[in-house]
Amino acid sequence: MRTEKTARFTPAQIPDQTGRRVILTGGNSGIGWNTALELARKGAEIVLPARTAAKADAAILRIRIEIPDAKLIPAILDLASLDSVRAFAAEFDATPIDILINNAGVMALPTRELTVDGFERQFATNFLGPFALTALLFPSIKRQAGSRIVTVASSAANMAKIEFDNLQSERLYKPMFGAYSQSKLADLIFALELQRRLIAVGSPILSTAAHPGYAKTNLQANDTSRAFKLLSMVLDPFFSQDSAAGALPTLVAAVSPSAGPGSYFGPDGPFELRGSPNAASIAKAARDLAVGKRLWAEAERLTGVSFGALSSVP
């Protein structure tokens, strides 16, 4: 599994998506909204869930201002609640799915919070929820070339490790380079392990991943620390990019013919913080096969959700 270099990518290169159904989490703001906008522009039907109906409806209204005939379906989904994940999956598992984009996430919550299921909120929202959602929707994803499962990770994954004795940050909570970075490393490991299992069973579905670089979105608002504010003052003018640019790696991972099994895309600029989407570096920790297998088993145990035949792959 390797990521191929791509030519400079723009939204104009997105193939026609007419007749294709996309489920995109976190599409009500930031890079998710820009991803939805460009896929809708190319004719995709997009299920766009948010934690409240008002947020989903507002995001859809903003898209329809630009694309009046956009095919958009609002829904409610809170990835921090397994009951919500199950309810959403039950609502949308009857119609075949072409692309599932696991984009929604939270970042650098100042204090450790627990979800209704008793999980640390960043690990639950960024990893466990998307893992369960993918498993529950997996039977509805078309078994054909062109079907993809896209997981949005982060360059912060390069500075993380999976601490199986601290997955819920119960021993030590570090908002950014602890809980958040571990959850995004888990996302990347999941994308690669999912692809390994898809290959093992002969499935044509692709698992790909992307990260937006240093895209300025509302996620950064959670980190109110003085250190982050000072870092932002230094980095923003030279290394940040807007959410439209940050969405491009996700779009490549979702629709580009250049994306192969286990591809990972991010900006091609210094430190992968900004620039055109291209092959991203994959942390050594994300390639550890033993960690991938163990994390998969742990996610199934914690969520109580299985991938069926994929779960039995050795």
**CA dist list (Å): 178 to 124, 151, 159, 206:** 14, 20, 9, 29
Nearest to 94 by CA among 197, 149, 21: 21
Angle CA 259–129–38, to nearest 5:
40
* Residue 180 known to be catalytic: yes
User: Which pairing describes strands 264-267 and 148-152: parallel, antiparallel, or unpaired?
Assistant: unpaired
Range list of H helices, the chain: 30-41, 53-66, 82-92, 121-123, 129-137, 181-200, 226-239, 243-246, 248-255, 289-303
**Single-letter amino acid code for the residue at 296:** W
Q: Which residues contact 63 (CB under 8 A, 6 or more apart)?
A: 33, 36, 37, 40, 70, 72
Cβ atoms of 24 and 46 closer than 8 Å? yes
**Single-letter amino acid code for the residue at 6:** T
Give just the sign of the alpha carbon dihedral 34, 217, 56, 146: positive
Residue 18 CA to residue 168 CA, distance in Å, equals 41
Q: Is 21 helix (H, G, I), strand (E, B) or coil?
A: strand
**Max CA-CA distance within the chain?**
50
Q: Is 100 helix (H, G, I), strand (E, B) or coil?
A: strand
Q: Could you tell me the two tokens for 46? A: 């997009």
Q: Among residues 173, 180, 214, 264, which one is catalytic?
A: 180
Catalytic residues: 180
